[in-house]
Amino acid sequence: MDKEAYEQTRLFEEYWFKIEKNLGSENISDFVRDYLTMKQNKIPNKSEVYEAFKHYVMSNVLKVEDLLEELYSYSKIYKTFINPENEIYAKRLQNFKFLKVSVVYPFLMNLIDLYNQQKIDSVNLLRSLEIIESYIVRRAICNQATNALNKVFASLYSDIIEIDRFKLDEFSKYLNAALVSKKGSAIFPNNDMFKNDFTSRDMYNIKNKQFFLGVLENRDNKERVDFINLSVEHYMPQTLTSAWKVHLGDNFQNIHSLYVHNIGNLSLTAHNSELGNKSYEEKKQLLKEQSRLKLNRFFISSETWSEVEIKKRANLLFEEAKEVWNYENLSIDILTNSEDKEFYTLEDNIDITGKKPIAFELNGIKHSVKSWKEVLVKTLKLLADIDFNMVKSFAYDSDFQGRVQRIISDKGDNIRQAEEIREDLYIETNLSANSILANIKLICEKFDLEDDSFIFYVK
C-alpha cells in the first residue's frame, strides 16, 4: 500500500490476481497461514493470520515484489492440494484430502518445491508421500493424538535438513529417519504397535474406516474400486438374529461384543440394505452372486463365521496393511537434541512419574524449566499476564478446592507449600507430577485453550 497507484495495479495484476485465481478467495487465509508455518516452523492462530503476516514481512524487511513472486510460486503448488488432477503425486494428495490432514501442507509446499526445482527426483517425491501417509494412517489406527501432527509437520523440514550428512538425493530416507526418531506424542508406530491396534480395536467407530478398507481393496487390484460410494458391512451383524445366535454357538454374546466391530468382521459393499441381518449362509450366497470385491473372498470361502475366522482374517488384512503403510526403521544419526523429540500434549494420557521436564510451550512460545513445580508456577504466571481476572477467579473456583486444602487461593496461609503468583494469589506446589499436570490441564480448559496450545517436553 506504500506504492504508487500504477505500481499497486501492476503488482496486483502480475501476482495477487493470479494467486487468487489459483486458490480462490476462500482459501487465501489458509494458504498464507501454511506459508508462514513453512517459513517460521510455528503455526499462527487462525484469527491472527493477517497480523502474523504483517509481522513476518516487516521483521524480515522483505521486498514486496520478491515476496509476491514467491507467494505466487507457492500458490501454484497449493492449487494442487485443493484440486489434484494430473500431477504425478495427485493420488497421494487425494488420499490426504480424504483423510482431511491439511496439516501436512506446510511440509508438502517445501517438498514439492524441491521437486519442481529438480532438486529431488520423482522417486524421492513419491516415496516421501508414501512415508507421510504411512505415518498418518498408523497413528490414526493406533489412536495417537491428532493435534501433535501440527507441531510435527510445522518443523519437519527443518528436522530433516539438520540430519547429519543430509543428502538431497536421498531425501525420502532422511524423512523416514526423522519420523522414526520421533517420540512421545509424535511417535511413528512400529509393526508391533500397528498390529496390536489394527487387529484388536473397534475399527467401525473410527474416522476414515472406509478409506482404510478401500485402499486394502485396491491393493494389487487391476480393476480398481471407487470405494467412496460403498458402505461398510458387518459380516456378523450389529444386531444378532436367532439364526446368528445359533450359528455362533453358546458363547454368542461374548463373541459378538468382542468382534462385531473388529477389522476381521468388516468389509465394503454396495448391497448393505440387502445384506442387513441375513443369516451367514444367505449373506455368503448373496456376496458370491453379486460382489466382485476381493475383501469378501475370505468370507465367501469360509465354511463358518466365528471368532477363529474373524481373527484369522484380521491378521491377513494386517499383513497387507503393513505393506501398504509400511515402516522402515532406518538408523541415521540426527543432529537435533534427542531429548527435544519427546513431547506430549494435554490430550495424551501419560503417567509422568519419574520423568523430568525440560521445557514447555504455551501458545507457541517455549520456556525452559527444571521441575514440575516450575512448569506449574510459570504457566499460571504467563496466563495471569494474559487475563489476570480469569486467574484470580480460580481462587474461588470449587474445582481447585483439592482433597485436603485449596490448590489456588487468595490466602497463602491455607496452602501447605504456597508460591505467590501475584499479590493475593497463591498456588499449592506440594503436588505430585501427575497432579500438577492434571491441574495445568484444568487451568488450560478454563482458558478455552486447545490441547496443542500447551506442549511439554520430558526426558
pLDDT tens-digit profile of 105-130? 999 999 999 999 999 999 999 999 99
Gap between the Cα atoms of 114 and 55, Å rounded? 27
- Say yes or no to pLDDT of 337 above 50: no
Instruction: Band the pLDDT of 338: cuts 50, 70, 90.
Output: very low
For residue 339, the model assigns a pLDDT of 45
Tens digits of residue pLDDT in 347-383: 887 888 888 999 998 887 889 999 999 999 999 999 9
Gap between the Cα atoms of 188 and 134, Å rounded? 9
**Strand pairing category for 357-362 and 408-409:** unpaired
For residue 406, the model assigns a pLDDT of 84
- Say yes or no to pLDDT of 335 above 50: no
Whole-prediction pTM: 0.84
Tens digits of residue pLDDT in 134-182: 999 999 999 998 888 988 999 999 989 888 788 999 999 999 999 998 8
pLDDT cut 70: percent of the chain above it: 96
If phi over 0 gives left and psi between -120 and 50 gives alpha, with beta otherwise, what is residue 143?
left
CA atoms in the 13 A half-sphere facing the CB of 388: 8
Least confident segment among 72-76, 302-306, 348-352 = 348-352
Q: 145 or 255: whose pLDDT is higher?
A: 255
- Say yes or no to pLDDT of 295 above 60: yes
Instruction: Band the pLDDT of 341: cuts 50, 70, 90.
Output: low
Least confident segment among 27-41, 141-155, 160-174, 215-229 = 215-229
pLDDT cut 90: percent of the chain above it: 64
- Say yes or no to pLDDT of 334 above 60: no
Mean pLDDT of 276-281: 86
Gap between the Cα atoms of 37 and 81, Å rounded? 16
For residue 131, the model assigns a pLDDT of 97
- Say yes or no to pLDDT of 2 above 70: yes
Q: 452 or 233: whose pLDDT is higher?
A: 233
Contact 447, 353 (CB under 8 A): no
> Dihedral through CA 230, CA 232, CA 233, CA 237, nearest 10?
-150
Tell me the C-alpha to C-alpha distance, in Å, between residue 343 and each of 50, 156, 198, 225, 255: 29, 14, 24, 40, 39
Contacts with 343 (C-beta within 8 Å, 6 or more apart), sequence order: 148, 151, 183, 184, 185, 186, 455, 456, 457, 458
Mean pLDDT, the chain, rounded, equals 90
Instruction: Band the pLDDT of 336: cuts 50, 70, 90.
Output: very low
Q: What is the DSSP letter of 10?
A: H
Instruction: Band the pLDDT of 281: cuts 50, 70, 90.
Output: very high
Gap between the Cα atoms of 400 and 85, Å rounded? 54
Instruction: Name the 3-class secondary structure at 376.
Output: helix
Gap between the Cα atoms of 316 and 384, Å rounded? 55
- Please name which of 271, 258, 260, 451 lies closest in space to residue 350, comparing C-alpha atoms: 451
Instruction: Band the pLDDT of 272: cuts 50, 70, 90.
Output: low
- Say yes or no to pLDDT of 332 above 60: no
Find the helix packing angle between 307-324 and 252-259, rounded to 10°.
10
Mean pLDDT of 197-204: 96
Tens digits of residue pLDDT in 180-195: 988 888 999 999 999 9
Tens digits of residue pLDDT in 88-102: 999 999 999 999 999
